[in-house]
Amino acid sequence: MASNEFAFIDRLRLLATDEAARGLDDDVAVIGELVLTHDMVAEGVHFLASDPPASVGWKLVAVNLSDLAAKGAEPLAALMGVTLRQDDEWAEKFLEGVAAACEAYGLALVGGDTIALPPDAPRVLGLTAIGRGGDVPSRSGGKAGDVLWLVGTLGDAAAGLELLLDDREAEGPLVEAYRRPVPQLAVGSMLAPYATAMMDVSDGLLLDALRLCTASKCGATIDLDAVPLSRAYVAERGSDRRNRLRAATGGDDYALLAALPSGLDPLGLSLPSGTILACIGTLTDGEGLKLFDAKGEVPLPEQLGYEHRAQNG
């Protein structure tokens, strides 16, 4: 039988009653000016056994920093949990990737834990990232009339994974997007003081937008045609309705989704060069998502994004 991630989190809420936990409706905890997050990556789920170990180390750091980016927090320090197998070369290359990401984003590694695994056990790696924040938007502050903005493009990582599943030697920008996500720290820090709600998009735009709506007790209307796609994605898959839906549900994007007051135009801010920022919809009264494009209303797909499920028996 399947064990649902959401059901487990609901049970955890009975334990996580401190106000710092934000009701577990967010990806971070906030203690004073400290913003804390913990994310794991698992072999066969978040990375392939054939992926270069340095890219796994980079990804472990980057996915945690993406949570800090969604809160406008400055990275400070991290604790890392590592499962070791009898493969010193893999571990060394993995640490090179961790070091590269920490150096790139000014993150100090200050401790953690290691355990030994049997040789055939899948690797599971964890990181707790600690940042400093001022205005720390939650998922729950959005209100009807707010405008939804997306930072970054969607679909690249899912398309890159598909290429790797077909050919382990595949290369190019889509594969790079899957293996080495880039946390939107600079843009996140600029949007945070204005955002009524903000989160990163890691499990698919539609699923994560629904999470923001649920936390904010509102609905949303999203323009599928406005969802930004990279040139590499369009060249590989196209930009028709079907492939836009694939991009909006694929996951592993690490874009940012921000709800901003309707009178604010973030394009007028001094954004970093090359920033991709698109208005994709609005928050509405009611609940749930409505999706449309130039042809009219788009039926919601059965699967809105990636949900973690454990299989037993």
Task: Tell me how far apart the alpha carbons of residues 130 and 173 are, in angstroms, rounded to a whole number.
Answer: 29
How crowded is residue 208: how many other Cβ atoms within 10 Å of its Cβ?
24
Domain with CATH 3.90.650.10 in the chain: 147-311
Q: What is the pTM of this model?
A: 0.92
pLDDT digits (tens, 9 = 90+) for 230-265: 999 999 999 999 999 999 999 999 999 999 999 999
Q: Are 222 and 281 in contact (CB under 8 A)?
A: yes
The total of other beta-carbon atoms located within 10 Å of residue 95's CB is: 16
112: left (phi over 0), alpha (psi -120 to 50) or beta: left
The domain made up of 147-311 is a member of CATH 3.90.650.10: yes
* Alpha-carbon torsion (75, 44, 4, 253), positive or negative: positive
- Nearest Cα neighbor of 218 from 277, 148, 153 is 148
Q: How far apart, in whole angstroms, are the C-alpha atoms of residue 115 and residue 112? A: 11
Q: Where in the chain is the domain with CATH 3.30.1330.10?
A: 2-132
Mean pLDDT of 71-93: 94
Task: Give the per-residue pLDDT at 310.
Answer: 47
pLDDT tens profile 192-217: 999 999 999 999 999 999 999 999 99
Residue closest to 203 by CA, chosen among 6, 2, 1:
6
Kindly state the percentage of the chain with pLDDT values over 70: 94
Mean pLDDT score, 100-121: 94
Does the pLDDT value for residue 309 go beyond 80? no
CA dihedral (91, 95, 101, 106) positive or negative: positive
CATH architecture, domain defined by 2-132:
2-Layer Sandwich (3.30)
Residues 174, 234 contacting (CB under 8 angstroms): no
